[in-house]
Structures are given as C-alpha cells and as structure tokens.
Chains A and B, each alone.
Chain A
Amino acid sequence: MSTLTTRPAEVGAAVGGEPLATRLHRWAVTVDHKRLGIMYVLSGLVFFLVGGIEASIMRAQLARPANDLVSPEVFNQLFTMHGTTMVFLVGMPILLGMGNYLVPLMIGARDMAFPRLNAFGFWLFLFGGLLLYFSYIGAQGLYGTAVAPDVGWFAYAPLTDRTFSRGNSTDYWILGIMVSGFGSIATGLNLVVTILSMRCRGMTLMRMPLLAWMMLIVGLLVLAALGPLTAAQVMLLFDRNLGAHFFDPQEGGSAVLWQHFFWFFGHPEVYILVLPAFGFVSEIIPTFSRKVIFGYPLMVAATVAIGFISLSVWAHHMFAVGMGPALNAFFSAMTFMIAVPTGIKIFNWIGTMWGGRIRFASPMLFATGFVAMFVIGGLTGIMLAMVPFDWQVSDSYFVVGHFHYVLFGGTVFAIFGALHYWYPKAVGRMLDETVAKWSFWLLFAGFNLTFFPMHISGMLGMPRRIYTFQPDRGLELWNVLSSSGVVLQAAGVILIVWNLLRSARKGAVAGNDPWDAWTLEWATTSPPPEHNFDVAPTVGSRRPLWDLKHPEDPDGRYE
C-alpha cells in the first residue's frame, strides 16, 4: 500500500527560473536516478580535475633530473592521493553514475529498484571522498602538521603500521575509502536488482543492451570485491588503533596477507572500471557504424567469463613477492585466460566497424581511440602476465605505462566518448562538435606522449613512485616527453569541460534521438521526464527503435 499524490512533471526549463536555494534543495533531496547519475558524474569530474592537478605536479617534478619542485614526502602524498582519487573517486562514481542514469532508461524502467538507497549510496561516496580530502587539513603528521595519506593507493603493509606511518593520515585513507565503498556496495546491489527485476515487457536478458549486461556484471563484481576490501580495512584499522597484528610480521601477522586481501579487491576493480567502458563502446560503435553489434551472444558470454575469471587473477600483482612456481604458474595461466574473452570483444568491435558506414562523430572518435589504446594496454598486460618478464619490470615505469593505457586510454577515453554520446540526452542540447574533436585529438596526442615513453623508461630501469632521478641514467628524454604530454592533455580536458558548460546553454537543441540510435533511452524526450516514459515500452528485439523506424524489416527475425 502506498500514499500517492499527483503533479506535473518537472522538465528542464520549467524549474529554470526558481531561486538557487530551491534548485539546490531539489538536487539534495532527489531520489531520481537521473539526477543522482548526473551528480555522480559531476562529482567525479571535479575529483578528476583534482587528481589531474596532482598528476601534473608529479610530472612537473619529474620533468628534469634531480628536481626539487616538491619534497619526497609531498611526492608520496601526491601519488597516493592521485591513485586513490582516480580509482575510488573518479572511475567508480562516474561509471556507476552513468550506469545509474542509463540503465533504467535502457531497460524501460521508471527508476532504480531502491531509489532511496540509491541516494544514500551517492551521498556516502561524496562524504567518503570529502573525508579523505579533509586529511589535507585535519590529519596529524609526523611533526604535528596536516598531511595527506602517503602509503600508496594500495597501502601495503607494513608501511601502514603505526611504526612507519605516524599520525592518522593512513586512518583517513582507510575511513574515507571505507565510507565511499559502502556507497559503491549500495549502488552495486541496486544495479543488480534493477536489471534482474525491472526490465520492461519483452526485454529478455538476451535482448538487453550490452551496457546493461556490463553493468549487471559490474554490480556483481562490486558486491564480491568491495566486501573483502572493507573487511581488510577494518583489520588494518584494528592493527593501527587497537593493537591487533593482522599485518605485522614482527608479531606473527603477515604483510603478504594484506597484499592478497587488497588485490582480491584490486584486480576485479580493474574490471569494475573497464567493463562499463566496454559497455559504452558497445553502444557507440554500432550506432556510428550503422550496424548491429557483431556477435552479441559472444559479447555477453565474454562479459560473464571476464566476471568469473577476474576473481582469480589477483596474485599476478604479486609475482615478485615470492609465492612459488605453482602459484605463479596458476595466476599466470588465469591471466592469459582472461585475455581470451577480452580479445573476443576487441575482435567483435572491429567486426562491427568492418564494412559499416562509419561516421567519425566525437563519440565514435573517443570509442575508436579507446579500442586502440586498450589493445596496447591489453598487450602489455599479457607481457606482464609472463612471470619472467614481470620480474624484470615489476614496480617500474613500464607498469605505470601499462595500467594508464588500460585505465586512461581505456576507461577515461570511453567515459569521454559516453559523455559526448549521452550528453544530448541528459541536457537536451548538443555539444559543439568542432571543440569536441579538438579536445579528442589533444587528449589522444597528449596521452600517448605522456604514457608511451613510460614503457621505455621502465625498461631502462626507472622505478615507479620515485620522486626524482639522477641525470646520468638515460632517462631524461623519456621523462621530459612524458611531462610535456601533460600540457596537451590538460588542454584537452579544459576544452571538454568548457564544451560541457557552454553547450548546456548555447548548444543546438538535440531532440529525442540526435544520433539515429536504437536503444530505448532515445525514445523518450531529451532530457527525459522524471518518470522516464509516459507509456511503459514493449520491445521485440535488441534494437527497439530500429524496429520502430523500420517496421518492414524488424530485427527480431534475425535474433
């Protein structure tokens, strides 16, 4: 039983003339998945700028040898906060936020299954992030000054022990991430329940958009991976504050245990960050190639396979620990195995483009850039899966180059592609295409200039997390190239932000379906009303809008 009131829908312009306080109040009390999705994305973008500034300072420090722009202590804080921010406060919120916004629209639902829990999840993420950054003001350092956490985003034991990490900056890291993680668990649960139980009529699992499939697996991975991380963080909190010794080898604990716990979360986390990107690209490439996705059932199977296998590859981050040949062989083999479903996806995206009438609009540029960059990141990942090779470049800049090709060249490029693709739906206006293309090429050039040389400096022996290097090691050229690429990347990001802000007011009106796309979100208005659809849709294939536009040749016949 419920209590029901009726009112007209709030649509963009209708609330535009209200006082700022009223509008802010509407956003603060909203339980609408679309508004929460937008807040997730905006918060994530703000943190992205913060994390980007941290990275830029690091690259400025490393631009020339024996530099002293920042101290070693500050450098440690910078790489810790940069990594933590980008993973927990940028990647996860933006991806989960976009899932929040898009999944109910794509499956023809009114909202998420638990709208209030959805709002709770968002606010937990935001407050967790703010708590982490409050460490810059509130944490007590070694000399009584405020310091940010400086133990790396992986917070390896025994570095996190009280003996080596005085004050409470590490506690801020634990608590900030833990609170934020509670929010991610709430959102993961919500995604799973929504996708499994709130699809519109006719939308069987095998007719779901691939993004919804990816988000389903992401939701399950969040539930599987975040819990163990939270448990390990509680244990670490006990170690630091209540005299426990879970991770203290001198008292019978195990530092390697923390690595197992952390990477049991950490590697599925990579797939939590990259599967939604796969989903974005799987929606963008068919639309701009004017073809159905190649091998939909295999794409689904590959997604599910990645979900399972990603839970059994974590110790490939630990080859250099000394686990022994048997464990090394197992995790090496599993890592090779996960390359198979990932490779299937790459082939299927290329298969979709092959012979298509490709339109290189800005979303497609970013999606194509994603495929190219992710292939490079994937191949260097295969190299790192080989134990002998891993031993030689472990903890070197080669690894930094590798994972930035996966997470920046991969995930961030896909996020920008998705922003350019769905912005007209969320805002009702088109982005400026010329500016969008400039921002892509600046980002693409800057990204490669920054991260490709890292493979070489890593092979030459430059360790990661090092705050400076000596001038006679042959590393100068590669580091100055890496640092100069940051300028181009920054210009690209500034253009994207400017385009997002300016187009919200001055962009061309988008209409319901500006890309001539095929999934359900394009059937409703731009931006969609609070209830998403006036009439609940019924679908007969994976491309309901194709069927609507081409009733003489519906897809259902071929599926």
Chain B
Amino acid sequence: MSEPREAPYSRAIPTPTGGPLVTAFGVAMLFAGIVTNIAASVIGAIAFAIGGVWWFREVFPREQLEAIEPTGGQSEVLPPPLPDREAPSKRLVLPVEIHPYRAGVLGGLAGGAAMAAVAAAWGIVKHGSLWLPINLLAGAVNPSMAALGEPELAAFDGGWLAIACLIHLVLSIGTGLLFTVALPMMPRRPMLFGVVVAPVILTALSWSTMGIVNPALEEFISWPWFVASQVAFGAVCGFMVNRFEMVPTMRGTSLAARLRVERSDGGGEPS
C-alpha cells in the first residue's frame, strides 16, 4: 500500500469500516431490550455509542478514502458523434400515422351520449323512469342497491346521478381512446370494428361479469336493449374517430419539433 496522500482521485472509494455494523447492532439491541431484558438495551446503547463514534471518525475531520489502481479489461464508454438527422436511416419507425387522441376523447363523449340516449329510452319505455338506468349504473359502487325495490331505484337521487355520470364519462372517454388505437388496425373497414366487433366484445364481457360487478343492474337488465346501446356507442364513436385525419407520430424528431416550437424539417421559422 502506498503512502497516504490528499487529493480528489477519480477512483477513490470509502475505506471499509465496522462502524455501521456496530451502530446497527446497537439499534437492534436497544429495541430488543424492550422484549427481553433491560441489559440488552444497555448493551445496545453502548454498542450504538461506540459504532456512532467509529462511524463519525470515518468522515470527520477527514473522510477516509482509498484510491484503487486501474484493473483494465473494461470497455471505455464514449458516445460516437451523431450522424446528420437528415441522412438516410436504416431504421423503420412505426407507426407512421395515428388518430389524434382528441378524436378518441370527442368520439367517446359523442358515443357516450348516444349510449345514454338508448339507455334513457329503455328506462322510459320499459319502466316509465328516466332515473332507473342512471341509478342502476351507480350500483357498480354500491352493492347494497341490489336490495332496493324498483320504486326506490326509479326515483331521482342527486348523489347517484353524479356517480353514474362520472362512471359513464370515464368509461366513455377511455373506450373512445381505445378506439383511436384499435381503428387503424382495421384500416379498410373501421366501422366494422365500431358497429360489430366492439359491441360483441363489450357485451360478452358485461354478460359474463355483470352478476358480480353490478348485481343491481343484472336484476333489471334487458340484453337486447343493452346490445343496442353498445351498437349506438360503437357506431357514433367509430364514425367520429374515423372522421379525424390521421397525424404523423413524429417519432425520431426532436422534442422542440414535436412541441411545434420549431419545424420538423429542421429549418424555418418557429411557429
């Protein structure tokens, strides 16, 4: 071992020390004394003090460090110069275009409105109440509603209205966003997804889980009307999303270009 010297050194690491081990042992024994014997706590306090001083002296007044000689055999990591962004690239960046997310949000809202209209029609036509479908939806977070009778479920309740609106909004927007992702997978027949595939999947999912997710709704549900509401959602949402022009993903372009602080072609005025 060479003579001690003082200087920052690029391969310097702290010298090994038993201070932390002894201090930790002290802490553990200090607490162990509560459930064993006071003597254990006394030993713990002593160990804690010794370990603490030992540790303190490792860093004050001067931190004890060791410089390690190089070992060799490592790769020296330095970044290569970046090629020009405009030079031809070997990599294919996919997808090139996607539906904008706002299409999903707006499509979800529109589809949700269509679905709500069908559900409201079912409530009025079949049960003479606009509030029944709304209260049944709120039953997803209140299992005790399954015990209520039709007169109570058909009455207006502001709290249930708020909860049902929240559930419906979140689910509609979420499903709308899923449409933006899923529709480009069927570029030739996007409406097929909206009107057939999505309603079939969502109805199957709901049919298999309704009894455990929302027992109140299961008691009253009319599956033909339910399917109709799903088709209404899928048709309107799919139509809306499909109306929006697709936008380039802009992957591989700089953040400034993506934020439209500068043009993606690398030149020109900030917009």
* A interface, CB within 8 angstroms of B: 1-9, 11, 26, 28-32, 108, 110-111, 115-117, 119-120, 123-124, 126-128, 130-131, 134, 138-139, 168, 171-172, 175, 178-179, 182-183, 202, 237, 241, 325, 328-329, 332-333, 336, 340, 383, 386-389, 391-392, 512-513, 520, 523-525, 529-531, 533-541, 544-545, 547-548, 551-554, 556-558
Q: Is B38 an interface residue (CB 8 A)?
A: no
Note all chain A residues with C-beta closer than 8 A to B15: 5, 31
**Contact at B24–A131, with CB atoms within 8 Å?**
no
Are A6 and B62 CB-contacts (below 8 A) given A179-B27, A529-B71? Answer: no
Out of B20, B63, B69, name the residue touching A3 (CB < 8 Å): B63
Query: Within the complex, what minimum Cβ distance (angstroms) separates B217 from chain A?
Result: 10
Note all chain A residues with C-beta closer than 8 A to B140: 386-388
**Contact at B143–A387, with CB atoms within 8 Å?**
yes
Query: Within the complex, what minimum Cβ distance (angstroms) separates A181 from chain B?
Result: 11
Are A6 and B67 CB-contacts (below 8 A) given A131-B32, A138-B35, A329-B163? Answer: yes
Out of A2, A178, A525, name the residue touching B31 (CB < 8 Å): A178
**Contact at B75–A536, with CB atoms within 8 Å?**
no
Q: Is B102 an interface residue (CB 8 A)?
A: no
Note all chain B residues with C-beta closer than 8 A to A9: 68-71
Q: Which of B80-88, B118-126, B188-196, B259-267 contacts A (4 or more CB under 8 A)?
A: B80-88
Query: Within the complex, what minimum Cβ distance (angstroms) separates B78 from chain A?
Result: 5
Q: Is B28 an interface residue (CB 8 A)?
A: yes
Query: Within the complex, what minimum Cβ distance (angstroms) separates B7 from chain A?
Result: 6
Given contacts A127-B27, A127-B28, A544-B79, 18 further A-B contacts (CB under 8 A): A3-B62, A3-B64, A4-B5, A4-B7, A4-B66, A5-B2, A5-B66, A30-B16, A31-B17, A110-B11, A115-B13, A134-B32, A171-B35, A237-B34, A241-B34, A383-B213, A530-B68, A540-B80
Chain A, Cβ-Cβ closest to B141: A329
Note all chain A residues with C-beta closer than 8 A to B14: 31, 111, 115-116
**Contact at A525–B28, with CB atoms within 8 Å?**
no
**Contact at A389–B68, with CB atoms within 8 Å?**
no
Are A110 and B13 CB-contacts (below 8 A) given A388-B212, A540-B80? Answer: yes
**Contact at B143–A4, with CB atoms within 8 Å?**
no
Note all chain A residues with C-beta closer than 8 A to B32: 131, 134, 175
Q: Is B142 an interface residue (CB 8 A)?
A: yes
Are A530 and B13 CB-contacts (below 8 A) given A7-B68, A31-B20, A388-B212? Answer: yes
Note all chain A residues with C-beta closer than 8 A to B213: 383, 386, 388-389
Query: Within the complex, what minimum Cβ distance (angstroms) separates B197 from chain A?
Result: 19
Note all chain A residues with C-beta closer than 8 A to B90: 553
Are A179 and B5 CB-contacts (below 8 A) given A4-B67, A328-B142, A531-B13? Answer: no
**Contact at B82–A556, with CB atoms within 8 Å?**
yes
Query: Within the complex, what minimum Cβ distance (angstroms) separates A53 from chain B?
Result: 24
Are A520 and B77 CB-contacts (below 8 A) given A32-B13, A119-B21, A557-B83? Answer: yes
Output the residue of A5, A111, A117 with the most chain B CB within 10 A: A5
Which residues in window 181-217 of B have CB below 8 A to A? 209, 212-215
Question: CA A31 – CA B76 in complex, angstroms?
Answer: 25
| 27 A-B contacts (beta carbon < 8 Å) | A1-B61, A5-B65, A5-B67, A6-B9, A7-B66, A7-B68, A9-B69, A31-B17, A116-B14, A116-B58, A119-B17, A120-B23, A126-B24, A127-B24, A139-B35, A175-B35, A183-B24, A325-B142, A387-B143, A388-B142, A392-B212, A530-B68, A531-B13, A533-B74, A535-B10, A539-B79, A557-B82
Chain B, Cβ-Cβ closest to A140: B35
Output the residue of B80, B139, B214 with the most chain A CB within 10 A: B80
Note all chain B residues with C-beta closer than 8 A to A134: 32
Out of B10, B67, B251, name the residue touching A536 (CB < 8 Å): B10
Output the residue of B1, B4, B61, B142 with the most chain A CB within 10 A: B142
Q: Is B252 an interface residue (CB 8 A)?
A: yes
Question: CA A424 – CA B31 in complex, angstroms?
Answer: 39
**Contact at A29–B82, with CB atoms within 8 Å?**
no
Out of B34, B58, B74, B214, name the residue touching A525 (CB < 8 Å): B74
Q: Is B25 an interface residue (CB 8 A)?
A: yes
Chain B interface category by residue count: 35 or more
**Contact at B63–A138, with CB atoms within 8 Å?**
no
**Contact at B67–A534, with CB atoms within 8 Å?**
no
**Contact at B21–A123, with CB atoms within 8 Å?**
yes
Note all chain A residues with C-beta closer than 8 A to B9: 4, 6
**Contact at A386–B70, with CB atoms within 8 Å?**
no
Q: Is B55 an interface residue (CB 8 A)?
A: yes
Note all chain A residues with C-beta closer than 8 A to B209: 383
Question: CA A525 – CA B73 in complex, angstroms?
Answer: 6
Are A535 and B76 CB-contacts (below 8 A) given A3-B62, A3-B65, A127-B25? Answer: yes
Question: CA A168 – CA B215 in complex, angstroms?
Answer: 45
Chain A, Cβ-Cβ closest to B217: A388
Note all chain B residues with C-beta closer than 8 A to A171: 34-35
Question: CA A172 – CA B36 in complex, angstroms?
Answer: 10
**Contact at B21–A523, with CB atoms within 8 Å?**
no
**Contact at A2–B64, with CB atoms within 8 Å?**
yes
Question: CA A168 – CA B209 in complex, angstroms?
Answer: 46
Closest CB pairs A-B (n = 9): A540-B79, A123-B24, A127-B28, A537-B77, A388-B143, A551-B80, A120-B20, A119-B20, A29-B16
| Binary contact track B213-256/A, C-beta < 8 Å → 1, others 0 | 11100000000000000000000000000000000000110000
Out of A123, A182, A332, name the residue touching B20 (CB < 8 Å): A123
**Contact at A29–B21, with CB atoms within 8 Å?**
yes
Chain A, Cβ-Cβ closest to B215: A388
Q: Is B112 an interface residue (CB 8 A)?
A: no
Q: Is B12 an interface residue (CB 8 A)?
A: yes
Question: CA A472 – CA B3 in complex, angstroms?
Answer: 80
Are A5 and B93 CB-contacts (below 8 A) given A124-B27, A172-B35? Answer: no
| Binary contact track B135-159/A, C-beta < 8 Å → 1, others 0 | 0000111110010000000000001
**Contact at B24–A332, with CB atoms within 8 Å?**
no
Q: Is B269 an interface residue (CB 8 A)?
A: no
